[in-house]
Amino acid sequence: MRFDGLYLAGLGSWLPPATTSAEAVRSGQCSAETARKSEMESVLVAPDGIAPPEMAARAARVALERSGVARGDIAVLLHATLFHQGYDLWSPAAYVQRAAVGGTCPAIEVRQVSNGGMAALDLAASYLLADPARQAALITAADRFDGPDFDRWHSDPGTAYADGGTAMVLSRVGGFARLRSLAVVSGPELEGMHRAGAAFGEVEMRTRQLVDLDAHKRSYLSEAGMSQTLAAILDGQREALKRALSDAELELSDVDRLVLPHFGRRRLVSNYLRHMDVPLERTTWDFDSKIGHLGAGDHIVSLENLVRTGGLQPGQTCLLMGVGAGFSWSSAVIELLEKPEWAD
Ligand SMILES: CCC(=O)NCCNC(=O)CCNC(=O)[C@H](O)C(C)(C)COP(=O)(O)O
């Protein structure tokens, strides 16, 4: 979809300390081979005692402060999550709203796995455009991938998972950047890839066994085939990219920077860079490889870092490309209008 009147007014994050992959190998948390293949420099690991919704609330306060948007002007809060938020049958979005925003607007959790932040942005954009009285939306994302049922280095080899909270304020009134286009495409024929080989409720639900996506994927691929699966992944990725670039009236070569999912280097190349004529330097890999995969928050934190460090200059465009199990793919074009005062 093409947009003319939607702006990024604020970005924020709450990021815990980094554990280097070397430290993870030394402590036995990560195998030397996994570390070598991923080429991740470090991943963010939250200390005990802080749950994802609190991380999101802290990021939201930063984004709201930076945006100048009054909390009463937030028309919707969308909180994107992948993993446990702290309790079952409970609303983490309501926690974020109570802790960071207040008010009585809808506060809704978005479960779109790693495409959750981009899917929330898509929904927020449409929500604001549906009613001229709606001025701004708050998007948050937060997860922590520790605990007995997830191994941040080995539950999904090729992707090193990180803890942290991120937030974005989308506004119709104005902001430091413009959302020029956004496209989200789904490919449900791939949904079995993240559950194959186990009956519903057999594994994660009853016994809270360690999530082992690699086993699911191996089982799925043994049926579906690797080349067919990768082809289907690339089809969805390309469709979202084509729509977003077309709506922004840009070619890929026109785009100044790209923010891709925080995959390990090998998976980033096999799923993206090998199929796109884009040098690694135009991506945010250098930063991303120090953070790890924040689940639904990769794009917000990497865009925030680009803007803060001057990696994106006024007039330049940034392409955000997301993907989530399901699958769903997203692409968005952001144009920086001005250097916000919180930039270095
Ligand atoms: C589960 C979290 C989540 O939503 N992640 C985003 C969706 N997953 C992806 O986009 C990764 C898709 N690609 C893969 O799983 C792998 O590249 C393949 C296609 C299974 C090949 O295995 P590899 O050689 O990378 O180990």
Give residue-wise pLDDT tens across range 248-273: 999 999 999 999 999 999 999 999 99
Q: Whole-prediction pTM value? A: 0.93
Q: What is the mean pLDDT of the chain?
A: 96
- Residues with CB under 6 Å of ligand 1 are 113-114, 156, 158, 194, 217, 229-230, 233, 267, 270-271, 323-325
pLDDT level of residue 148 (50, 70, 90 thresholds): confident
Atom of ligand 1 nearest to the CA of 115: 4
Q: Are residues 123 and 242 in the same domain?
A: no
In a domain, 342, yes or no: no
> How many angstroms is it from 193 CA to the middle of ligand 1?
9
Q: How many structural domains are present in the chain?
A: 2
With contact defined as beta carbons under 8 Å apart, do 327 and 111 qualify? no
**Which one has a higher pLDDT value, 310 or 210?**
310
Domain of 189, in residue numbers: 180-336
Give residue-wise pLDDT tens across range 302-341: 999 999 999 999 999 999 999 999 999 999 999 999 999 9
Q: Are residues 75 and 202 in the same domain?
A: no
Q: Are residues 220 and 110 in the same domain?
A: no
Per-residue burial over 144-159, b = 16 or more CB atoms within 10 Å of its CB, e = otherwise: bbeeebbbbbbbbbbb
Q: Are residues 171 and 185 in the same domain?
A: no
How deeply is 264 buried, as exposed, middle or buried, from its count of CB atoms within 10 A (0-12, 13-18, 19+)?
A: buried
Q: Are residues 11 and 156 in the same domain?
A: yes
Element (H, E) at 96: helix 92-96
State ipTM: 0.97
Q: Are residues 35 and 122 in the same domain?
A: yes
Atom of ligand 1 nearest to the CA of 113: 4
Q: Point out the domain boundary residue: 175, 202, 232.
A: 175
How many residues can be counted in the chain? Answer: 344
Q: Are residues 114 and 197 in the same domain?
A: no
> How many angstroms is it from 9 CA to the middle of ligand 1?
32
Q: Are residues 198 and 315 in the same domain?
A: yes
Q: Are residues 198 and 328 in the same domain?
A: yes
Q: Are residues 95 and 218 in the same domain?
A: no
- Return the SS3 of 298: helix
